[in-house]
Structure 1
């Protein structure tokens, strides 16, 4: 695939440097390799902009995966707590919602009634 001439411009080199300074470590979850490439989240060929909000730093391995069709995930959340990864299920209104953790753990059930202790019974035993 031919390389877009834009990637040889001074403007791109400056933007790439800004991305690598902002994201010195790969933005894929669990990866702690140094960032190698400034990657468009939404590709330029699909209308993605050349602004910092649409760029992320990727290590050599994840950039190669992205170049061959695999989609790396983004780490982190925005200020509101929404995941940055556009593929996260929170961004899909039709996705099946996982059960609430209280349902999974059985915490939605009524608690067992507390044992009523006579006033003269101590809370501990003396030896």
Structure 2
């Protein structure tokens, strides 16, 4: 490669590179083309994002729609044991109230000092 003696730059294919209007035009054109490529790339990425999100919503809605009966069955199965547990607790609490309340009421009625209550039920008696 030979150097141009006037400008001390390498020659390209036998022609000298001249600074001036052409190099400025090339730089401006490079900036414009680069900016245009960035804008186009950004627009394409936005379109791809919209398409992917739309497809995800459609697939998610389809799965949600097809599994609605299964979700209803699971919900009903989860409620049944809770209802039976609550019923059993009520029955046991009712039995305890029936058997345990009577002695407490008798003890509270027999006490001469009514200011001191030993059980919570004795408070409600007086």
TM-score by length of 2: 0.23
Please say which structure displays the higher CA radius of gyration: 2
Q: Normalising to structure 1: TM-score of the pair?
A: 0.23
**Greater strand share, 1 or 2?**
1
Higher RCO, Cα 8 Å, sep 6+:
1
